[in-house]
Structure 1
Amino acid sequence: MEPKAHHVIIGLFTVIAFAAVLIFALWLDKSSSDREWAYFEIGFDQAVSGLSKGNPVMYSGVQIGDVLELNLVPENPSHVRVLVRVDDQVPIRENTRAGLVLANITGSMSVQFSGGSPDSPVLEGNRENPPLIQADPSPFSNLLANGQELLHKADTLFTNANRLFSEQNSENLEKILANTRSATDALLASKEQLVTLLAQMDAAARRAEEAAIRVSRVSDNANSLITNEGSTVLQAMEKSLETIQATTSRIDRLTRDNEGAMQSGLQGMGDLAPALRELRSTLRNLNQFTHRLQQDPAGILWGGDTIKELSP
């Protein structure tokens, strides 16, 4: 009799638990049917992957309703209209924003309301003419779209990498590396010679620099000499030339004025004519030297041609 009593007790407990669950479900359905709802239409300009009928509608992380319908816009199938219902006691205002958020790790999405200032008018939502709220771009949807594009680019990259590292290119790369190693070994073997060559080049550069400094000093000295002493020599020679020219002019004038007397007096002085020719030749050579000195004083003072005397 005792085992039979246990079975009766277990059966009775099962019936009571089932009746309680049924009563609770009826009560929950009744409370839901008695609940007042406001209806809104959310406009999405991108894909709503992961969102389906019955998914929760959240406001600042708290569930306030659920999704009723998802429809494509006939004029533009890339846009989606989602009909949602929310608790009528929750105010949805004109500046309230809507978007998609990740509901769980399985990829299910929820509609999320946020924002809405108290001074903004409240939207009146009904089933026959629900207000349209344009959704903000979903960061998660953008991430998925960008992830697909990124995967496509990665696949293209791997394909190109496989082409790059083909058998023929691998052989060419091995040859290039072998040649590079041979060149490196040759350089290492000639290390001492390279060091000596670099030292010689460095010494030659120092000597060239020293020679340039010396040439610069000689040039400065020559320039100073030409500027200072050469100017003094030119001035002295110019004065001497002016004196000689004045003397020659006086001699010519004296000769013209006393030509008759000189002809009679010079008959016995046969050496005067050669002396005058020598004097004229000397004056001509001195005049040429002065002209050349004015044109190229450095060349005359530092190794130029010397004045050659003309034989009478």
Structure 2
Amino acid sequence: MEPRAHHVIIGLFTLLAFASALIFALWLSKSSGDRDWAYYEIGFDHAVSGLSKGNPVLYSGVQVGDVLELNLDTQNPSHVRALVRVDREIPIRENTRAGLILANITGSMSIQFSGGTTDSPQLAGNEEDPPLIMAEPSAFSNLVNNGESLLAQAEDLLVNANRVFSEDNVDNLSALLANARQASNALLAQREDLVALLERFDTAARRAEEAAIKVSRVSDNANDILTNQGQEALDAMTRALGSLQTVTNRINRITLENEGALASGFQGMGELSPALRELRSTLRNLNQLTRNLQENPSGLIWGGETFKEMSEQ
């Protein structure tokens, strides 16, 4: 009796679970049937791997509908058209954006709406003529679509890395590291000399700074002298030149005004020349007469040599 009772209990439990699942499915389908839906067509100009019929449609991360159909564009098979239904109470506007997002780690994709402002007109989503919304490519979609090129680039990178780490390059790198180690050891051995050299450089730098300060001071003093005293000398020279110019102008004016008198004076001086010669001859005769009187006064008075007039030389 006990095994039969266990089978009855298990069967009853299975029947209740099946009935509950059936009731839940009916309730779910009735709930979905009672909701009002708006229909939109999402256009993709790239591959939609991972997106399939029944996948959820989200708005800012909240599920608002699902995907009904996936079809290729008959005019351009590289484009995909996805028919989705969204709760009619959710406003889908003209500036609302659509795109793909990763639903889970298995690679399943979902359609997500985002954006949309209240000042933009609302789209009327009819099942017979659903409005088209072009989807924006997502970062994950670009990664998936460009995966092949990325793998090729990664392969090229590995090939180049293998070339870089070839045996010849490894030997050269080892030699370079050994040389660098020897150079560093040599520097460490000469560190006292290096410290002394750096101290000399520091002393020279301080002296150069002091010299630069002195040169700057001399330059400032010279600039001050040229600015103040030099300006005074230039002013005095300017005044002297002005005075000289005034005197020169006066001399020129006097010369011009007395040009006739000066010419007559020079002519009169030329006429005085013969008179001056006669006067000079007379003075010579007087000097000769005086000497004769001193030497022989009696002969001159009582008859002596006749006085000869000195000719003008």
TM-score range, shorter chain: 0.5 to 0.7
The residue type equivalent to 2:174 in the other structure is: E
2 CA distance for matches of 1:120 and 1:189?
78
Task: Name the residue aligned to 1:28.
Answer: 28
Task: Name the residue aligned to 1:47.
Answer: 47
The residue type equivalent to 1:160 in the other structure is: N
Give runs of aligned pairs for residues 183-198 of structure 1, distance below 5 A.
none
TM-aligned CA deviation for residue 92 of structure 1: 2.0
Task: Name the residue aligned to 2:69.
Answer: 69
Task: Name the residue aligned to 2:173.
Answer: 173
Task: Name the residue aligned to 1:122.
Answer: 122
Give runs of aligned pairs for residues 217-228 of structure 1, distance below 5 A.
none
**Contact between 2:47 and 2:145, CA under 8 Å: does it hold in 1?**
no
Task: Name the residue aligned to 1:264.
Answer: none
For residues 20-52 of structure 1, the C-alpha deviation after alignment (integer angstroms, 9 at most, x for no partner) is 322332333344344433221111233323222
Task: Name the residue aligned to 2:157.
Answer: 157
Question: Is 1:79 matched up with 2:62?
Answer: no
2 CA distance for matches of 1:21 and 1:186?
84
C-alpha change, 1:15 and 1:190, in structure 2 (3 Å) is: closer
The residue type equivalent to 2:159 in the other structure is: T
Question: Is 1:91 matched up with 2:91?
Answer: yes
C-alpha change, 1:41 and 1:172, in structure 2 (3 Å) is: same
Q: Runs of 5+ in structure 1 lacking a partner?
A: 207-312
The residue type equivalent to 1:63 in the other structure is: Q
C-alpha change, 1:2 and 1:144, in structure 2 (3 Å) is: closer
Give runs of aligned pairs for residues 292-303 of structure 1, distance below 5 A.
none
TM-score (norm 2): 0.53
1 CA distance for matches of 2:193 and 2:75?
82
Larger Rg: 2
Task: Name the residue aligned to 2:212.
Answer: none
C-alpha change, 1:178 and 1:29, in structure 2 (3 Å) is: closer
For residues 50-93 of structure 1, the C-alpha deviation after alignment (integer angstroms, 9 at most, x for no partner) is 22221101122221211122233344444322111122333322
TM-aligned CA deviation for residue 121 of structure 1: 2.8
2 CA distance for matches of 1:125 and 1:8?
53
Task: Name the residue aligned to 1:37.
Answer: 37
The residue type equivalent to 1:48 in the other structure is: V
Aligned residues: 209
The residue type equivalent to 1:54 in the other structure is: G
C-alpha change, 1:3 and 1:180, in structure 2 (3 Å) is: closer
The residue type equivalent to 2:52 in the other structure is: S
Q: Which moved more, 1:12-21 or 1:161-170?
A: 12-21
Give runs of aligned pairs for residues 226-241 of structure 1, distance below 5 A.
none
For residues 235-281 of structure 1, the C-alpha deviation after alignment (integer angstroms, 9 at most, x for no partner) is xxxxxxxxxxxxxxxxxxxxxxxxxxxxxxxxxxxxxxxxxxxxxxx
The residue type equivalent to 2:18 in the other structure is: F
C-alpha change, 1:10 and 1:176, in structure 2 (3 Å) is: closer
Q: Which moved more, 1:26-35 or 1:176-185?
A: 176-185
2 CA distance for matches of 1:140 and 1:154?
18
> Equivalent pairs: percent with the same residue?
71
C-alpha change, 1:164 and 1:36, in structure 2 (3 Å) is: same
Q: Which moved more, 1:34-43 or 1:56-65?
A: 34-43
RMSD: 3.9
For residues 215-253 of structure 1, the C-alpha deviation after alignment (integer angstroms, 9 at most, x for no partner) is xxxxxxxxxxxxxxxxxxxxxxxxxxxxxxxxxxxxxxx
Question: Is 1:105 matched up with 2:105?
Answer: yes
C-alpha change, 1:188 and 1:12, in structure 2 (3 Å) is: closer
For residues 187-211 of structure 1, the C-alpha deviation after alignment (integer angstroms, 9 at most, x for no partner) is 77777899999999999xx9xxxxx
